[in-house]
Structure 1
C-alpha cells in the first residue's frame, strides 16, 4: 500500500475510533461492541507500525502509555488553582449566600456540582490538540503528568474545535476499578490502597505511564481557567461549552435560583451519594455569573464566589488497643490512638488523633476501650467518645510520660499551653521532623526525599541539618536500601533543582515558629532577600499588616541565633537561592503608575507579549486584569482579530490601546 492510501486509512480509523471512545467514555452510549473496537484498534496499530510517520498526537494508539519517565517536570500554572473554603451545615451555606448578596446584590444564582473525591488536574489544548496536563501541586506549581493523563480515555486527545484553552477537572478512580485494583494487589501480597482518591493520585504519579494505563481512571471537567474569547458569561455556559467541545462534565449539576434550592440539592445528595459509581465528599456551590465572580474576587487561598459543602462526618465503633507518642518538629509530644482497623468515610482507619493529655482525661479514654471514631473527608480521624458501659474491667489508664520518648529530656508545659513539649534543640525527633518539613511540597518540594528516605539518611548519619541535604553525593546514596542508580540520579537532580526556589519556599522550609506558607511569602515579598529580612527590626516587621507582634518577635529571635546564621551561610554557599522571584506587591512608588488601581481587559492576539506575560506585568504595576468588559473597565488593550470585547469597549466609550502603546507604557 502506498503512503497516500495508507494516510487516508489511518486518518479514517483515528477519527472513527476517537468518535467511538467519545460515545463510550463520555456519553456512556456505546454504538459498537468492544470486540469490534479492539479489531479496529489493532488494524490502526498495524498501519502506524508500518508507516510511523502517520502516527499523530491525537491517535487512540497514544493512550497505551509511552516510555518510562525519569522524573516529573515542574509546571507553573498560568493562573492559580485555588482551594475552596468549606461549609459544614445549612447555617454555613446561608452565611456564604449572605456575603455574596451583600457584595453583588440579590440578583444572584448558583451552580451546584458534585465534589468528586479525586486529584485536581489542569489540561491545556493548543489549536484543539491536548498539549499538556499537570497536577494542582501547591496551587501555583504542579507536575507535568501529560503522558499519564493521555491514558484516561475520557480525556479527548483532540477537541471538537481547534480551540486554544486550559480546562480544569478532577481525575478519579471509579469504585469498580478501585475494587479490581485492590483485589489484584492483595493477590500479589501487596498493601492495598486505602481509598480511591489515593489510588487515583498514586496512579497519575507513576513514572511508567503503562502502569497508569492499567488503572482505568476517569475524569470530570468542571471549569475553564480563562474564558478568553469564547463569549461565555456564566459558569453554566462554560460547562455547556465544554460539553460541545467533547469534554466529559458531570451531568448531575444543577443551576439554582437561590440558596433554598442549593440547600435542597445538597440534602438530596446526602442520601443518594452511596449509589454513585464514584466517591464524592461534598457539593461545590459556585456563583454562576462570571462578572459577579470577578466582583467577589478571591482571598490568598480561596475564591469568594465558591464554597465546598462537606458531607457530615461518619462515625463507627472500634477498639483502642494502644496509645503511641510522637514528637513533632516544634517539640510537642502528641498522643495517637492505635485502633483495630475499621472502614469509615471511604478509608480504612487504624489511627486517630488524641491531641493532648487533657483531652484523654476529659473523655476518660483508657487502653482497651470501645470507642466511637469520627472522620469526614480529609479530616484526621478523631475519637469522639468512649462506650464506658462496655468496659470489662481490664482497661488500662494512660499516663503521659515526664521525659521525652525520643531523647529522654524533661518534658515541660509552657505557660498558656496544654501540650507537653520537649525543649531540647538537639532532640533527634525534632531534627528529623524538621528535615521532613524542609523537603515537603509546600516548602522546598524535593521529589524523592520522602519521610522514609529522610529517616534513613538521618539514622545513617548522612544528614544532621538541612544544609547537609545539599552535600549528599552519588557515592553516599547508591549503597542505601531501595536506592538504585536511577533513583539516586533523580534525587540529586531534584535537590539541585530546589536550589532555584523562590525565597518564600526556603523561609517556610526553615520552620520559623508562627510563620506559615502565606506569611513566608509576605515576608519574602516585602524584604526580597534573606539578608534584608535577617536584619529587619521588630518595628519594621510589625509595620506589615499581615505580621503580628508574636510572629515578628519569632522572626527576630530566629535570625539572632548564631546557629541560624551559620546554617544560612552554608545553604548560600551550596548555591541555594536567597532572593524572592515572584511578583512584588504594589508599593507606594507603584501608586504613581498609570495602571495602579485600574481595571484592564486584554483582547485579541498580542504579537510581542503572551497574554499571560502582559497580565503579570500589569498586575505587578497594580492593575486588575479582568476577563470581560463592563462599565467599570478603565482600559482595553486590543491585539489583532479583537472581537466583541473591542466592540463593547467602543460602545461604552472606554479607552482602547494597541499593543505598541501598552509596551511603551510598561517601559516607563
Structure 2
C-alpha cells in the first residue's frame, strides 16, 4: 500500500498522524478485546501499530501517553466480575520482516551489554490466534481463571474455563502457587461444525475461529461454554511460588509434564538464522495445522536474562511476535460517510460492497482524511501514484484475520465514466458549523464545540468509558438517550440527575428500557462514582493529546486535584515555573503541555470542569509500593557512560524503586549519577549543591552491588 514514507514526514504531520493512530488503535483495542466485534483486521492493526512505532522512533519527543505502544488489550466487560492480575499480562511487540528480527537480536544484546557476535538462544513457537487466559492453581487445584482484559484487570471466567477439556482441574507435583498462561482457541473442524449447528438452529454464526473461541469462553452461562469445542495451549506463566526451570524451554517441558497441552512446533534455536528458518517451516505448515496462527513468537531462552531485560510499559524486552503477511481483495466502494469525533475531527469511512477476504466478510474501511482520499499527503506529494478515491470505484482492500481493512489501491480501468472526485465537506454534517483545517493539520475539524451534538455526545461517552468514570448502567446507549432528551448535556449533569428530576426515580423508571430496580441501581452507581481516582478524572475530561497513560503520569506527578489544577492555571504563563515543571515530566512534550494549558484557560471549558469537580471527592494518586527504598520520591539524573549496566537498565531500576528519572539537571534534582565522560550536567549539579554519585555508589545505595 502506497503511503508517504516515515522519513519524509515533518514534525507537524507526524504529530497529527500519531494523534489519529492513538484514537484509531484505542477504539480497535476496545472492539477486539471487550466487545468481541473487531473493527480492524489483524493486518490493518499490525500495520498501523508498526507505523506508529516507526514514527515514534523518528520523533521520540512526540510520543503520546495514549500511544498504542503503551496499550494492552482493553477494559473488561460489564457481565463479569473483575480479577486483578498479580503479575500483569502484557502484549508482545511485533515484527514483519527478517531485518526487524535481526534488529531485535541486536537490541537485546545491546541492552545486556553483550558483544554483537555473542551467541544467544531463543525459543520459537506458533502464535495462536485465540483468547489469552490465565489459570491460577493453589496447592494443585484450579481456583481461578481470568482473561487478559487490559493487562492489569481481567474477567473472571473460572466456571467457563472448568468446562474446557484441555484445562486440568488438579495438578500433581505442582508448585504451591502456579499461574499458567496460554491461549484458548478453536480448531478449523470444530469451528465449521459449530457454525453448521448454529445455522441449523437459526442462531448467529461466527466470522472466524478466534471470534467463536472468545465469544464461547466469555458466555455468562457456563453451560453454553461447555457445549462449545474449546481447546487450550499453555505457553507461559505468571505468579509462581517456585521456578518451573532455568530456561524458557525447560519451563515449557515442565508445563507439559504437569498435564498441559503445549505446542509441538515449539523449538529451541541458536541465533537469528535458526529462528528465521523455523519461521519459514511453520509458515509452510500453516494451512495444514488445523487451527489459526498469525505468526511466530520468539523468546530469549535464559530466564535469568529475561529477568535482566525486564519490561517496557506494555511489552517484554525479551520476546517478539513475527507476524505473517496480510491478504488482499477487490470490491466496490459504495459510499463515503463522515463521522465526527469528540475532538471535532471529521473522519471519512468507506462503505464497501461486502467482500470475503480470507474467509471473513468485510464491508467498511477507514479513509484517514481528505488528503488520503485525494491521493496525496498533507504536503501535496502523491500517494498511490496520485490516484484519488471516488464513490463507485473498485478498490483493493487488505486484511489478515478479522474485519475492517484499509483501501490500498484503485483500479482506474474499472472507474465509471460518470464518477466525480469526492468533495470533502467544509461544513460539519452534524451541526452545520464550519469544518476548519488549520495549517499543518491533516484533519478537518468542526468548529462548533459544545454546540455540536456529535462532539458533545462523544465527549460524554468518553467520560463514562471504562478507563474514565465507568458508571455501571450508564454506557454509550444511555448517554445518547439522555442527551437527546435534554437530561445530560455535560458531565456535571450526570451527578444532578436524581436531584434535578425530583427524586429522579419516578421519571426514569417510566422510561422505555428502565424499571424501578435499574433506576435505583443507576443512581447508586452515580453516587458511588462521586469518589474518583485522580488519574481517572484527568482522563475522563477528554483533553486532546491526553490519554490514559498520560493521565496516570500527571496524577502521579501532581498527586492531588488541587495541585494539578493550580499548576495548570499557573502554567498559562510560559514564564511561570509551573510550565517548566510540566515540561520536565518525563513523557510530557510541548504538544501535550499546550493542550493542557489551553483547556484550562478556556472560560467555558473551565466552568464545565469546575461544575463537575464540585460534585466529586477526588482521591489522591496512588504511590508506588517502595517501602524501604532509599530513592523513593527522589529525582535522579544519569549522565556520562555507565559501565556496569546499560542506561536503559539503570532508568528502569530507579523507577521501579519509586524514583523519578529526569533528563536534565535542575534545582529539583536530588541525585546525579555520573559516569566517565560526564560534562555540563555534573558541573551544573555541583553548582546547585546536588548530591553526585558514581556508578558504584549508586548501586550500593540501591542495594545492588
TM-score, with length taken from structure 2: 0.70
In structure 2, distance between residues paired with 1:125 and 1:460:
50
| 562 and 135 in structure 1: CA distance in 2 versus 1, 3 angstrom threshold | farther
1:286 Cα deviation after fit: 0.9
> Secondary structure of the residue that 2:449 maps to in structure 1?
coil
The one of 157, 160, 163 aligned to 1:148: 160
The one of 136, 144, 163 aligned to 1:132: 144
In structure 2, distance between residues paired with 1:117 and 1:219:
11
| 565 and 403 in structure 1: CA distance in 2 versus 1, 3 angstrom threshold | closer
In structure 2, distance between residues paired with 1:587 and 1:519:
26
In structure 2, distance between residues paired with 1:378 and 1:492:
38
Mark the structure with the bigger radius of gyration: 1
C-alpha contact (below 8 Å) 1:525/1:584 kept by paired residues? no
Which residue does 1:85 correspond to in 2? 93
| 79 and 467 in structure 1: CA distance in 2 versus 1, 3 angstrom threshold | farther
| 231 and 202 in structure 1: CA distance in 2 versus 1, 3 angstrom threshold | closer
Gaps of 5+ in 2: 1-76, 376-386, 498-503, 568-577, 637-641, 645-652, 661-702
- Deviation digits for residues 477-521 of structure 1, max 9, x if unmatched? 555555577766776676566555532233222211111222111
The one of 438, 443, 446 aligned to 1:414: 438
> Secondary structure of the residue that 2:213 maps to in structure 1?
helix
In structure 1, distance between residues paired with 2:392 and 2:635:
69
C-alpha contact (below 8 Å) 1:137/1:143 kept by paired residues? yes
> Secondary structure of the residue that 1:321 maps to in structure 2?
strand
1:230 Cα deviation after fit: 2.9
1:587 Cα deviation after fit: 9.2
Indicate yes or no: 2:340 matched with 1:332.
Answer: no
C-alpha contact (below 8 Å) 1:80/1:140 kept by paired residues? yes
1:315 Cα deviation after fit: 0.7
The one of 587, 592, 595 aligned to 1:554: 595
Gaps of 5+ in 1: 1-68, 600-615, 624-664
- Deviation digits for residues 43-92 of structure 1, max 9, x if unmatched? xxxxxxxxxxxxxxxxxxxxxxxxxx994222211121111111011111
Indicate yes or no: 2:532 matched with 1:511.
Answer: no
Which deviates more, 187-196 or 532-541? 187-196
> Secondary structure of the residue that 1:216 maps to in structure 2?
coil
Indicate yes or no: 2:412 matched with 1:388.
Answer: yes
1:260 Cα deviation after fit: 0.9
Which residue does 1:454 correspond to in 2? 479
- Deviation digits for residues 531-560 of structure 1, max 9, x if unmatched? 211111322201112111221121122223
Which residue does 2:379 correspond to in 1? none
Which residue does 2:131 correspond to in 1? 119
| 442 and 274 in structure 1: CA distance in 2 versus 1, 3 angstrom threshold | farther
| 158 and 470 in structure 1: CA distance in 2 versus 1, 3 angstrom threshold | farther
Which residue does 2:301 correspond to in 1? 288
In structure 1, distance between residues paired with 2:525 and 2:125:
38
What's the Cα RMSD here? 3.3
Indicate yes or no: 2:551 matched with 1:520.
Answer: yes
In structure 2, distance between residues paired with 1:120 and 1:221:
10
> Secondary structure of the residue that 1:225 maps to in structure 2?
strand
> Secondary structure of the residue that 2:596 maps to in structure 1?
helix
TM-score, with length taken from structure 1: 0.73
1:584 Cα deviation after fit: 7.0
- Deviation digits for residues 253-273 of structure 1, max 9, x if unmatched? 111111111111222333322
C-alpha contact (below 8 Å) 1:80/1:139 kept by paired residues? yes
> Secondary structure of the residue that 2:166 maps to in structure 1?
coil
In structure 1, distance between residues paired with 2:240 and 2:539:
34
| 147 and 545 in structure 1: CA distance in 2 versus 1, 3 angstrom threshold | same
| 86 and 139 in structure 1: CA distance in 2 versus 1, 3 angstrom threshold | same
- Deviation digits for residues 359-403 of structure 1, max 9, x if unmatched? 111132111111110124579510000111123424343211121
| 527 and 592 in structure 1: CA distance in 2 versus 1, 3 angstrom threshold | closer
> Secondary structure of the residue that 2:251 maps to in structure 1?
helix
- Deviation digits for residues 119-146 of structure 1, max 9, x if unmatched? 2121111111111111211111222221
1:161 Cα deviation after fit: 2.8
C-alpha contact (below 8 Å) 2:82/2:156 kept by paired residues? yes
Which deviates more, 430-439 or 122-131? 430-439
In structure 2, distance between residues paired with 1:78 and 1:564:
39
> Secondary structure of the residue that 2:102 maps to in structure 1?
helix
In structure 2, distance between residues paired with 1:177 and 1:491:
41
> Secondary structure of the residue that 1:400 maps to in structure 2?
coil
State how 1:185-204 maps to structure 2 within 5 Å. Answer: 185-187=198-200, 189-204=202-217
- Deviation digits for residues 276-327 of structure 1, max 9, x if unmatched? 3222222111111111111212111211111111211111111111111101
Indicate yes or no: 2:624 matched with 1:583.
Answer: yes
Indicate yes or no: 2:103 matched with 1:95.
Answer: yes
Which residue does 2:369 correspond to in 1? 356
1:589 Cα deviation after fit: 5.5
With CA pairs under 8 Å and 6+ residues apart, which has the higher RCO, 1 or 2?
2
State how 1:392-471 maps to structure 2 within 5 Å. Answer: 392-426=416-450, 427-446=452-471, 449-470=474-495
In structure 2, distance between residues paired with 1:489 and 1:311:
50
C-alpha contact (below 8 Å) 1:71/1:490 kept by paired residues? no
In structure 2, distance between residues paired with 1:175 and 1:495:
45
The one of 141, 160, 183 aligned to 2:172: 160
1:468 Cα deviation after fit: 3.7
In structure 1, distance between residues paired with 2:196 and 2:521:
31
In structure 1, distance between residues paired with 2:223 and 2:517:
18
The one of 76, 87, 91 aligned to 2:84: 76
| 120 and 447 in structure 1: CA distance in 2 versus 1, 3 angstrom threshold | farther
Which residue does 1:249 correspond to in 2? 262
1:198 Cα deviation after fit: 2.7
C-alpha contact (below 8 Å) 2:468/2:540 kept by paired residues? yes
The one of 108, 122, 131 aligned to 1:110: 122
